[in-house]
């Protein structure tokens, strides 16, 4: 499986998980050009629950191809790969999504991380949902 295929599968698993927890999926793979830079930001999933818009970064790994640098980087878990620069991009992209969708910035919103570890033998996934993980 390619990295893109693993990411796509992880996002589908995350969507099903979120829907089972009562989230309404509003958008997928929202891409936003960060003003003043050539950089693009992307939000994997935008969802809503209890009047809170949630921007979700999905991190996925297929256990068959686990390497130490993929899963554990200096003691950080998979979700720990959402570093400071990635967090800044996600926040700018989330604000862009809110503006594009004419949602006032003072409405409640948060950023979550969903980590998915897929076991190729059992075809099961371990899911960790860190709510309000990015401040």
* Selected residue with higher pLDDT from 82 and 117: 117
CATH of the domain at 117: 3.40.1350.10
Residue 50 has pLDDT above 90, yes or no: yes
**Taking Cα atoms as reference points, which of 65, 56, 38, 71 lies closest to residue 130?**
56
* Selected residue with higher pLDDT from 38 and 21: 21
Provide the domain count of the chain: 1
* Selected residue with higher pLDDT from 113 and 81: 113
> To the nearest whole number, what is the mean pLDDT of the chain?
83
**So what's the pLDDT on residue 46?**
98
Query: Residue 34: which residues within 8 A CB-CB, separation 6 or more?
Result: 40, 41, 89, 92, 93, 96
The string of pLDDT tens digits covering residues 64-108 is 544 444 444 333 455 566 677 778 888 989 999 999 999 998 999
Q: What is the mean pLDDT of residues 114-125?
A: 85
Domain with 46, as residue range(s), is 3-134
Q: What is the mean pLDDT of residues 3-31?
A: 93
**So what's the pLDDT on residue 17?**
97
**So what's the pLDDT on residue 28?**
96
């Amino acid at each position: 499986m390619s990295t893109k295929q693993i990411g796509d599968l992880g996002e589908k698993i995350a969507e099903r998980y979120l829907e089972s927890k009562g989230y309404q999926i509003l958008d997928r793979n929202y891409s936003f050009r960060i003003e003043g830079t050539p950089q693009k930001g992307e939000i994997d999933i935008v969802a809503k629950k209890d009047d809170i818009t949630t921007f979700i970064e999905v991190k996925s790994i297929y256990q068959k191809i686990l390497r130490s640098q993929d899963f554990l980087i200096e003691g950080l878990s998979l979700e720990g790969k959402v570093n400071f620069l990635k967090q800044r991009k996600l926040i700018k992209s989330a604000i862009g999504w809110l503006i594009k969708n004419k949602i006032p910035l003072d409405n409640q919103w948060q950023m979550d991380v969903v980590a998915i570890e897929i076991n190729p033998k059992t075809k099961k996934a371990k899911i960790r949902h860190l709510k309000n993980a990015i401040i």
